[in-house]
Structure 1
Amino acid sequence: MEEPTRKAAKQEITESLKIVLYSMQHIGFSFDKPKNASAYLRQKFILIISVCGICLHVFSELVYILFTFASTPSIEDVVPLFHTFGYGVLSVAKIFAFWYKKSVFGELVDELAEIWPMPPMSEDAENLKQKSLSALRISHRWYFSVNIMGVWFYNLTPIIIYCYRVWQEQEAEIGFVWASWYPFDKHRPIAHVGCYLFEMYAGVTCVWIMVSSDLLFSGMASHIALLLRILQRRFESLASIEKSDDENFEEIRSNIKLHQRLISYCNSLEEAFSLVNLINIVMSSINICCVVFVIVLLEPVMAISNKLFLASILIQVGSMCWYADDILHANENISVAVYNSGWYKTSPRCRRTLLFIIRRSQKPIGFTAMKFTKISLKTYSSILTRSYSYFALLYTMYSEK
């Protein structure tokens, strides 16, 4: 690919990841090198503050949970603490994964620019590209909006409750955003304001981390699926017009090379996100179960915040499983596309070469949770099933009590 075309391709990819890059800036990450020393120091300062803030937040929630277990280990006191704590733990895992794999993510963006479909293209391929990018933009905006609204509903709920009680002429005191422990009296006026601002910052930082990681994964996975579908169309049109044997063979050869690069790209993305996906799958069932329990049985005042939290985590896990399943089926369909092509019009040399791509496309590619399980829509179904089972158990225990 020529340099001007490559730059245009990278610009399109960057545009498709606009929300990702915007969110990454708020936690001190960027795929581009800082322009000067002040920008470098500013980026490192934001990263250090973000990491320290989120780690302190998760630690304070953990200590509060342990104290609650030691004092009043009842279901209605303990369960409401787990979904926000789980969200924080997942944020910590993702920011460290970002830090450890930042160079890998940057290389993946550059590598994707090398194989990105650019004009001249067939009308069918152009339509596929525009539909994929449009769907990705819509899903990213929805996920971003739900997360931002959710965290600000949590941040403002104590103030709203305080104003409501004052309006009702009841005894009122501004509470806190999260259930956290501090090694000092957090109810003193200055400490109260400081803790409230810290909890607001920690919650917003969690959202920036989650949005950056989740939308980067979904964006990259969506682009892989798009390229696999375009490759499928190329194989379907094989030998549709009369060409020489050498031209057909060269077309098949270039398509196989593209398929190999997509497999390598998918494997690199899988390696970068494998640990995060494992933690996501393990904790999602618990988070969904706990927040549903709180919504149904305990805290109607927090219902809007908790419902947005539930929507956020359902979209998060659902998009991860959706895009992984999309890649799985897009790769499988390549063998079908080869079979439906005009392979019978080609020479024996071309037919033998096509056998290799059929065999390779029948070997699944996709994402796993540290090799423990393959991620697909079946994974999403099992997560929801486990969440319901946990909820039913908690509901039975709560009802008996």
Structure 2
Amino acid sequence: MDQTARETAKREIDESLKLSIFCMKRIGLTFDKPKTTSSYLKQQIIFVLSALCICYHVFSELVHICLTVSNSPRVEDVVPLFHTFGYGALSIAKVFVLWYKKNVFGQLLEELSGIWPMPPLNEDAQAIKDKSLAALRIGHQWYFAINILGVWFFNLTPILLYFYRSWQGQDAHIGFVWVSWYPFDKHQPVAHVAVYIFEIIAGQTCVWIMVSTDLLFSGMASHIGLLLRILQRRLESLALTEKTDDEHYQDLVQCIKLHQRLISYCNDLEEAFSLVNLINYVLSSINICCVLFVIVLLEPLMAISNKLFLMSALIQIGTLCWYADDIFHANADVALAAYKSGWYRTSPRCRRTLLFLIRRSQKPIAFTAMNFTIISLVTYSAEI
């Protein structure tokens, strides 16, 4: 692939990940090197402030949990505090992994541009590419909208409750977004406003982090699935046109090289996201258990805040499992596509080579949580 085609491929990949890149910029991270010193300093300041914001946010929730345990160690008082704390702790883990491996992710995107399907493509390959990118775009838009609307539901709930109670003639006051501890009286007028604004920023920052990492993983995984499906079509069309044995062999060699590059790319991506997936799997499981406990045993039937939180948590972990599962099955289908090809029309040399491809594609490609468990829809169904 020449430099012009590679740059075009990079632009297409960036366009498919624009919502993830947008969210990353909100917390001061980017895969592109800043062009000026002022841009670099601006990014660093935003990142440091974002990190400090969510760290204190999680610390204040942890202190509140400890104080609650010491004052009233009842299950019904303590458990409702854990899922929001867990969400914040998960955000901290993700942002520092994203920051630490920022160059790794950038390199993976650069490598992806080298194997990206570029014109001229046959009709089937172009259709697969268009369908995959359209589905990814719709999925990312919905995921982004659900998370943004969810956090702003929490941000505005205290104000909406204030107006509702005032309309009902009840004693009304504006509360807080989260249940946290502060080393001062947060009910004083100035402190109340400052804390409310801080909690809005902290909650929004957590969402920027969660959305950016989740969309980055799902986008890159979707692109691998796209390339595996194009590889399937190439294999299915093998030897269906009149060519010499050498030409059939060269076509097969190109398919094997692409498959090897995709396997290598998947392994690199798995290594980059493995720690994030482990933290995600463990904390999401705890969060889901805690919020289900609250919904079933403690929360009134008409209350919806925890139900929305549960829906968001299930969508978040379900999205990751969906795209990881797609790669798992797409790689397995490579062997089936090779078997359905016109291999019986080829020379013994091509058949032996094709057999190696089939044997290799039967070895699963899977994302794991630090080898603790495989991330797939089976994992998702077991978790819920």
| TM-score, normalized by the shorter chain, greater than 0.5 | yes
Paired position in structure 2 for 1:45:
45
Displacement of 1:20 in angstroms is 0.5
Displacement of 1:295 in angstroms is 3.6
> For residues 141-220 of structure 1, what are the structure 2 equivalents within 5 Å?
141-220=141-220
Indicate the SS of the match to 2:73: coil
Please say if 1:266 is aligned against 2:274. Answer: no
Aligned partners of 2:186 and 2:74: how far apart in 1?
A: 24
Paired position in structure 2 for 1:60:
60
Paired position in structure 2 for 1:25:
25
Change (3 A) 1:300 1:148: farther
* Structure 2 runs not aligned, ≥5 long: none
Paired position in structure 1 for 2:237:
237
Displacement of 1:177 in angstroms is 0.7
8 A Cα contact 1:239 1:248, kept in partner: yes
Residue 137 of structure 1 aligns with an amino acid whose one-letter code is R
Q: Normalising by structure 1, what TM-score? A: 0.93
Q: Normalising by structure 2, what TM-score? A: 0.97
* Structure 1 runs not aligned, ≥5 long: 385-401
> For residues 40-119 of structure 1, what are the structure 2 equivalents within 5 Å?
40-119=40-119
* CA offsets 1:16-73 (integer angstroms, 9 cap, x no match): 1010111011000111111211111111110000110011111110111111111112
Aligned partners of 1:305 and 1:128: how far apart in 2?
A: 39
Paired position in structure 1 for 2:253:
253
Aligned partners of 1:114 and 1:265: how far apart in 2?
A: 11
Aligned partners of 1:117 and 1:366: how far apart in 2?
A: 23
Aligned partners of 2:7 and 2:379: how far apart in 1?
A: 37
Aligned partners of 1:20 and 1:301: how far apart in 2?
A: 35
8 A Cα contact 1:284 1:383, kept in partner: no
Displacement of 1:302 in angstroms is 8.5
> For residues 196-345 of structure 1, what are the structure 2 equivalents within 5 Å?
196-300=196-300, 303-345=303-345
Paired position in structure 2 for 1:122:
122
Aligned partners of 1:134 and 1:311: how far apart in 2?
A: 24
> For residues 7-22 of structure 1, what are the structure 2 equivalents within 5 Å?
7-22=7-22
Aligned partners of 1:17 and 1:24: how far apart in 2?
A: 11
Aligned partners of 1:373 and 1:285: how far apart in 2?
A: 13
Displacement of 1:289 in angstroms is 2.5
Percent identity reads 69
* CA offsets 1:239-267 (integer angstroms, 9 cap, x no match): 01011111111111111111111111111
* CA offsets 1:315-354 (integer angstroms, 9 cap, x no match): 1111111111110111011111111111111111111111
Change (3 A) 1:298 1:53: same
Displacement of 1:299 in angstroms is 4.2
Aligned length: 384
Displacement of 1:174 in angstroms is 1.4
* CA offsets 1:61-107 (integer angstroms, 9 cap, x no match): 01111111111122322122111111101100100010111001111
Displacement of 1:291 in angstroms is 2.3
Aligned partners of 1:305 and 1:327: how far apart in 2?
A: 34
Residue 205 of structure 2 aligns with an amino acid whose one-letter code is T
Aligned partners of 1:200 and 1:12: how far apart in 2?
A: 34
Paired position in structure 2 for 1:393:
none
Aligned partners of 1:272 and 1:316: how far apart in 2?
A: 19
Displacement of 1:169 in angstroms is 2.2
